[in-house]
Amino acid sequence: MHSYAKLFATSQEPRMSDQNFRSILTGSFSTPCADNPTVAMIEAAYHHAGIDARYINCDVQASNLADAVKGAVAMEWVGFNCSLPHKVAVIEHLDALTDAARIIGAVNCVTIRDGRTIGNNTDGKGFLASLKDVVDPAGKKIFLLGAGGAARAIAVELGLAGAAHITVVNRDAAKAETIAALVRDNTDSETTATPWEGKVQIPVGTDVVINATSVGLGDANALPEIDLSTLKKGQIVADVIPNPPMTRLLREAREKGCTPLDGLGMLVNQGVIGVELWLGKTLDADVMKKTLRDIFGVSGAS
Ligand code: NDP
């Protein structure tokens, strides 16, 4: 019998030796990390599902990243998320990458199996899962605003999912072209880059408009510089901004008869996909979404 069990065992059942005080360990490495609500979202869903797992939000400085990865392996964590500024830097510390992570060139979710670390990217997959609730992107024309890390992951996943055409629009046109070339080289989607000059017009025939810029984060009135009159009824208009979820772009789009899709779904689905990779279990997305809404102080109706 384990020494702790000896110490606490009484004549009554259950004995300590029948119980398990070892939680499954998962978490996140980033810096700064204190404002990242993922821990609350995932632990609420672990609790709801009765899963004895923890998600530990760790502040990891860049100079400590290698040790943090080794530590997670040594402590037999089953996986962890990587957020800014580690999404690219973590790659050199991993044993293998999934195709999507290799193409995107960034990792935000690492699975640990038998001491081996496998890097994945769930940013784009989370978005895609959310989008698929309203439309299958296969064969669709996509207009993507922004060319940062989120846009890159989304563009690659849309390409892999069979989008017919993706237009990437960005102020820094070179970044848009880099993403367009990446998608062209690795998927069958036709992808073009356009510089963002003045009020951008949504081309006729666009099925899905996506704001993957940071415009709207923490500012309910900020609006990406687009010509709102070119939004058409029936289009899907998605925003990656999780807080506030109902951005001005989404409110304007809803007024025009478009279907709005908020960034909470992307965030929640990343959590769902990560835990599926780590534990092989599907968490309750509604519990996660409600937790985030409570944290962000927004009501259930968007
Ligand atoms: P980056 O810093 O990598 O990219 C920011 C992008 O926004 C760039 O393309 C930048 O253009 C563009 N941009 C910024 N300001 C403006 C502006 N005023 N007008 C037009 N374009 C602008 O950030 P990320 O890609 O990592 O993140 C982008 C957003 O996505 C963030 O707000 C983040 O919170 C959100 N996000 C949401 C997730 C979710 O799960 N919901 C997951 C990941 C990110 P330029 O290159 O020309 O500077």
Q: Would you place residue 4 in the very low, low, confident or very high pLDDT band (cuts 50, 70, 90)?
A: very low
Q: What is the mean pLDDT of residues 24-30?
A: 98
Residues paired with residue 24 on neighbouring β-strands, in sequence order: 53
179 with 151: CB under 8 angstroms? yes
209 lines ligand 1 (CB under 6 A): no
Delimiting residues of CATH 3.40.50.720 domain(s) in the chain: 125-261
Q: How far is CA 289 from CA 64, 203, 242, 264, 294, in A?
A: 32, 33, 11, 7, 9
CA of 238 to the centre of ligand 1 (A): 14
Q: Tell me, what's the pLDDT at 16?
A: 58
Whether 123 lines ligand 1, by a CB cut-off of 6 Å, is yes
The CATH class of the 125-261 domain is: alpha beta
Residue 215 banded pLDDT, cuts 50, 70, 90: very high
Residues of CATH 3.40.50.10860 domain(s) within the chain?
3-121+267-296
Mutate to test the pocket of ligand 1, among 156, 214, 219 (most ligand atoms within 8 A of CB): 214
What are the pLDDT digits (tens) for 45-57?
999 999 999 999 9
Q: Given a cut of 60, is residue 10 above it in pLDDT?
A: no
pLDDT value of residue 297: 87
Q: Give the pLDDT confidence score for residue 83 in this predicted structure.
A: 94
Kindly report the CATH number that applies to the domain delimited by 3-121+267-296: 3.40.50.10860
The pLDDT assigned to 142 comes to 98
Q: Give 33 Cα–ligand 1 centroid separation in angstroms.
A: 18
Distance 242 CA to ligand 1 centre (A): 12
- Measure 211 CA to ligand 1 centroid, in angstroms: 9
Feature table: binding site for NADP(+): 99, 146-150, 240, 263
Atom 23 of ligand 1: nearest residue by CA position: 148
Mean pLDDT of 69-92: 97
Task: Give the active site residues.
Answer: 87
**What per-residue confidence (pLDDT) applies to 75?**
98
For residue 265 and ligand 1, the question of a CB distance below 6 A is answered with no
For the CA of 150, the closest atom of ligand 1 is 25
Q: What percent of the chain has pLDDT over 70?
A: 93
Q: What is the pLDDT of residue 300?
A: 56
Q: Tell whether ligand 1 has an atom less than 6 A from the beta carbon of residue 216.
A: no
Whether residue 267 has its Cβ less than 6 Å from ligand 1: yes
CB of 168 closer than 6 A to ligand 1?
A: no
Tens digit of each residue's pLDDT (9 = 90 or more) over 229-268? 999 999 999 999 999 999 999 999 999 999 999 999 999 9
What value does the mean pLDDT of the chain take? Answer: 93
